[in-house]
Amino acid sequence: MTDRLIIALAQLDPTVGDIAGNLAKFKKARDEAAAMGADLVVSTELFVAGYPPEDLVLKPAFAADCEAAVKQFAREMGPGPAAIVGTPWRQDGKLYNAAALIDDGKVVALRFKHELPNYGVFDEKRVFASGPVPGPLVVRGVRIGLLICEDMWTVDACEGLAESGAQMLLVINGSPYERDKRDERVSLAVTRVTETGLPLAYVNQVCGQDELVFDGGSFVLDSDGVLKVQAADWRETLVKTEWRRGADGSWHPDKGAMVPPTDELASIYRAMVLGLGDYVRKNKFPGVVLGLSGGIDSALCAAIAVDALGADKVHCVMMPSRYTSRDSLEDAEAVAKFLGIDLRTIDIEPAVKAFGGMLAPSFAGRDNDITEENLQSRARGITLMALSNKFGWMVLSTGNKSEMSVGYATLYGDMCGGFAVLKDVYKMTVFALSRWRNESRPDGLLGPKGRIMPGRVITKPPTAELKANQTDQDTLPPYDKLDDILECLVEHEMPVNEIVARGHDEATVRRVWRMLDRAEYKRRQAPPGVKITRRAFGRDRRYPITNGFTDAKGLPTAEPGETPRAPTPVAT
C-alpha cells in the first residue's frame, strides 16, 4: 500500500464535438504528467465530448464515437499514470454523463453523474439519465471518491462516498464563469470537506463555448478546509498535486502552487477575451470586423478583439454620416492607432440618401422621426455584413447590456453581428473596464501595453450621433441610475417599491420596467455573447414576447391609453 500519491489535474480547453482533438490534448497532458511522476491524471467533465455538448449527445453516432475513442485511447495508453476522463457513456439503454477510470490498457471502472442540474444554463435532465450515488474508485490502493460537478453541490453523493470508505474527494467540473462564482465554489467545497472530513481536489476546464466561458481556477483543500493548491484562472495548465498518508491512515495534500485569483474587473475582461477568442478560432473565422464609431463601446470591443486575436485579425470601419462629429472621427483614428489595427472609412451618406429617395413617396406628408435615424444604423449594418460576406470576417456587435435591456438598439442595424462581446456587461462596467484596460494589461493578452483609447472616449457623453446634438440621456436616465434599476429588475427580480426605496424616482423605475419588458422581441434576435452575470439574456432570463401580464404586487401597470407590450422603436 502506497503512502504517497501524485495526482495531475488537467485544466484544459476542449472543443465541443472534436473527439479526436480533445483526446490528443489529454494524451499530451498525460505524457507531461508521466514526466512529473504522476500516479493519476484527471480531465474535466465530459472532456471527450467537450462541455456542454447539449443535444449533440442525443445523436447515437456521437455517443458511440465517444465510447469507441475512449476504449481506443485506453488500448494505446501504454505504461504510466492511470487516467480519469469525462465522457458520455451508454449503459442499459440509458445515456450518462460519465467518468471513465483507465488503467492497464482498459476502462477499469465507470462512474455516472448523480445530480443533474436543471436550472440557469443547465439542462442536463433532458439528455442524461441520473446515475446512482457513486462508490469510491481504487487507484494505486487509494479509495478516491469521484464526483462530477453538480454532485459536489449537494450533500448526498459526498456523504455516500464518505460512508463507503472514500479517503479523498476528487471533483471533475465544467463550471461556467459568472461574477462571484469562484468564491461560491470554494465555500461550497469547504462545506463538503467539513461534512465529510475528507480532503478535496477540484479541477475545472478553461474555455469558451458559445455564450459560456469557463475560468479554470482548479484548487485543492485539506481535510480542515485549508487551501493547499490554487491553479491559475483563465489559462490551460497541468497542476501537480502531491498527497501523503498520515499515521492514522488519512490522506493529506502537500502545499503546492498558489496562484492568486484574478480580481473582478480583470476576470470580466479575461472572460470576454477568452469567449471571443475561442468562438472565432473554433469556428474558423479568419478575423472580425466592427464599426469603430469613436464611442466607448466600440473602442472597448476593438481592444478585446485585439487582445483575443491579435491586431492583424481585427478590421474596423468608421462609417460617418452628416451627424458624425469631428471628435468622433479623431477618436476612432486614435483608437486604431493605439491598437495598431486596420481602419477604413466608408461614408454612409450615399446609402442614406438612396433609401430616403426610395421611401419618399411612401413617407410623403410625414415628418422625419426615428425612422430616418434607424436608416442610418441599418446602412451601417449592411456595410459591415457586405465586408463580412466578401472577406469571411465575423461581424462583432458592440452593444452592451444596458442598451439591450431597454431596447436602445436597432434590429438589422447595430444589432447585426455574429457575436456580441459586451452583451452581458452593463454600461457603467464598460466605463470601469475601459479605465482599467488603459492602465493594465494582464499577461497572455495579444494587445499592446499602455493606453488603448483616448481619455476623451471615456469622459464624453455617450451618443449614437443619429441626429444633431444627440446624447443617450435624451431618452434614457443617466447610466448610473439606469444600471442600478436594471440590476434590480434583471438580476434580482425586485418589485418596484423596493427599487424606489433605494432612492430612485418611481416614474423612472416604471418607465425602465416597461422598456425592459417591451424589448424582449429584440433580444430574441440578438447574436450570442459572453455570459458574465447570473441572469444573462437568452441563457438565464427567458421571458415570453407575447405577454399580457401587466400588474402584480409592486409592479407597474400600463399608463392610461398605453399599449402595454407594443414594441418601442429606438434609434440607436
Report yes or no: 102 and 82 within 8 Å, Cβ to Cβ: yes
Of 147, 162, 157, 159, whose CA–CA distance to 201 is shortest?
A: 147
Of 470, 472, 471, 457, whose CA–CA distance to 403 is shortest?
A: 472
Strand-pair partners of 208? 213
Asked about 211 being catalytic, the answer comes back as no
Asked about 236 being catalytic, the answer comes back as no
Residues 6+ apart with CB under 8 A from 144: 40, 136, 137, 138, 166, 167, 168, 169, 170
**Which candidate in 25, 45, 150, 373 is catalytic?**
45
259: left (phi over 0), alpha (psi -120 to 50) or beta: beta
Question: Which ranges of 392-530 would DSSP assign to H, the alpha helix?
Answer: 401-406, 427-439, 455-459, 479-486, 496-500, 506-518, 520-523
Q: What are the grid coordinates assigned to 2, written together? A: 502506497
CA distance 115 to 526: 32
CA 31 vs. chain centroid, Å, equals: 30
Asked about 54 being catalytic, the answer comes back as no
Sheet containing strand 82-91, edge to edge, reads 106-112, 94-103, 82-91, 40-42, 4-11, 237-245, 251-253
Q: What are the grid coordinates assigned to 529, written together? A: 455573447
Of 394, 421, 389, whose CA–CA distance to 288 is shortest?
A: 394
Whether residue 544 has a cis bond before it, omega within 30° of 0: no
**Which candidate in 25, 113, 240, 401 is catalytic?**
113
**Which candidate in 25, 66, 124, 149 is catalytic?**
149
Active site residues: 45, 113, 149
